[in-house]
Amino acid sequence: MQAENRIIDKSILGSDTVSFTVYCPVIAKKAKAGQFVVIRARNEGERIPLTIADRDPAKGIINITILKIGKTSRLLSSFEPGDIIPDIAGPLGKPSEIENFGTVVIIGGGVGIAPTLPIIKTMKEAGNYVISVIGARNCNGLIFKEAIKTHSDEFYTCTDDGSEGFKGFVSDFLIEYIKQHPDKKIDRVVAIGPVLMMKAVCDVTRPYGLKTIVSLNPIMVDGTGMCGSCRVEVGGKTMFGCVDGPEFDGHLVDFKLLSSRLDIYREEEKTAYNKYMENHKCKMSQ
Ligand code: FAD
Ligand code: FES
Ligand code: MG
């Protein structure tokens, strides 16, 4: 009998990304594509949201993929198989809208590639023709390649440095793809990744009138609509990323406001990170 929240497996995906398989039977049973969990890596620690990148209800496991960016993601990434994550709440957020739209282009950038996998799988199961496009700075960042390819009708990779696939951003690839396939009717685009990437994709699709769904990543605390920290503006209305999203119509999102709100605690985050690294170094040298 496994203990809840125990890490079953850990994979290192390149230099700054790790993936955990975690035993969470209740979440695994209920989670749907597009949903996330809120995690605390220490009982007294801050809460951070992470997408449920995959799940297996029969085995009671979920997969989370973490980009080491600051203090908490770094601390969590240092966990090993057998360790127990103190606190995992979920599944949270609205599931992705899945139906047979026809042809869907699903785009993942950086660590945003991980959450595209369950959407790709379920879009395919729903009968869509799925075109998957993943992008990263270099070929080491192209995570979950084989799994995504398996569930896609067409599969493309892009790298900023040209080390694999198309050389350039996923948004540049999309422009080329649309121009080279004038007869292909695209019914929906889904883009998940850094804010700038999602905005760039929306700028490409807007003139073509291609409905584009983005998964927003505002700062979240409780993930249940109570604290208001995840406020985003969509179509001129204030929405809560955690309960009204995280997926929204990208053509209606105020990306400028989202970017500026993501920077609000930059100084505090830097201080916390430096302190963590300092302590960590001390422990290493003891
Ligand atoms: P910090 O140094 O504290 O922060 C670095 C930057 O991360 C900040 O400037 C801010 O932009 C952002 N951030 C900080 N705290 C939060 C917070 N509580 N909530 C949201 N953003 C924050 N990252 C992944 O690596 N994998 C995922 O699957 C993933 N899924 C996400 C799903 C959702 C719905 C959201 C909203 C975010 C997701 N993120 C994911 C982003 C992840 O939550 C942040 O990278 C993480 O909180 C950073 O914490 P930190 O302490 O390591 O970094
Ligand atoms: Fe608190 Fe959304 S995270 S209201
Ligand atoms: Mg933090």
What's the CATH number where 35 sits? 2.40.30.10
pLDDT at residue 283, rounded to an integer: 53
Residue 282 lies in a domain: no
| Residue 286 pLDDT class (50, 70, 90 cuts) | very low
pLDDT at residue 160, rounded to an integer: 94
- What average pLDDT is seen over the chain? 93
Q: 54-56 and 61-67: which strand pairing? A: antiparallel
Domain count, the chain: 3
d(CA 100, CA 85): 37
Question: What is the distance between the terminal CA atoms of the chain, rounded to a whole angstrom?
Answer: 36
d(CA 164, CA 169): 12
For the stretch 51-75, pLDDT in tens is: 999 899 999 999 999 999 999 999 9
* C-alpha separations of 86 from 56, 101, 145, 279 in Å: 21, 40, 31, 21
Alpha helices in the chain (DSSP H): 25-30, 71-77, 113-125, 145-150, 170-180, 195-205, 241-244, 255-262, 266-285
Same domain, 258 and 194: no
Host domain of residue 59: 6-92
In 3D space, the residue among 159, 144, 158 whose CA is nearest the CA of residue 111 turns out to be 144
Copy the structure tokens of residue 146: 């084989």
CA 173 to chain centre: 20
Atom of ligand 2 nearest to the CA of 225: 4
Residues lining ligand 1, CB < 6 A?
Answer: 36, 48-51, 65-67, 69-73, 111, 114-115, 217-220, 246, 262, 266, 269, 273
Answer yes or no: is the C-beta of 221 below 6 A from any ligand 2 atom: yes
For the stretch 2-31, pLDDT in tens is: 789 999 999 998 778 999 999 999 999 999
Answer yes or no: are the C-beta atoms of 66 and 77 closer than 8 Å. Answer: yes
Same domain, 104 and 61: no
For the stretch 247-285, pLDDT in tens is: 999 999 999 999 999 999 899 999 988 988 888 765 544
Please count the other Cβ atoms lying within 10 Å of the Cβ belonging to residue 275: 11
Residue 283 lies in a domain: no
Q: What is the per-residue burial (b if ≥16 Cβ within 10 Å, else e) of 192-217?
A: bbebebbbbbbebbeeeebebbbbbb
**Torsion angles phi and psi, residue 77, rounded to 5:** -65, -20
Q: What is the per-residue burial (b if ≥16 Cβ within 10 Å, else e) of 153-177?
A: eebbbbbeeeebbbebbbbebbbeb
pLDDT at residue 1, rounded to an integer: 66
Q: What is the best residue among 40, 227, 248 to mutate for testing ligand 2's pocket, by most ligand atoms within 8 Å of CB?
A: 227
Same domain, 208 and 220: no
User: pTM score, two decimals?
Assistant: 0.94
Alpha helices in 181-238 (DSSP H): 195-205
Same domain, 137 and 191: yes
Residue 227 lies in a domain: yes
* C-alpha separations of 146 from 121, 149, 152 in Å: 13, 5, 10
Answer yes or no: is the C-beta of 238 below 6 A from any ligand 2 atom: no
Question: Cα angle at 234 between 247 and 30, to 5 degrees?
Answer: 25
Question: What's the CATH number where 193 sits?
Answer: 3.40.50.80
d(CA 44, CA 99): 41
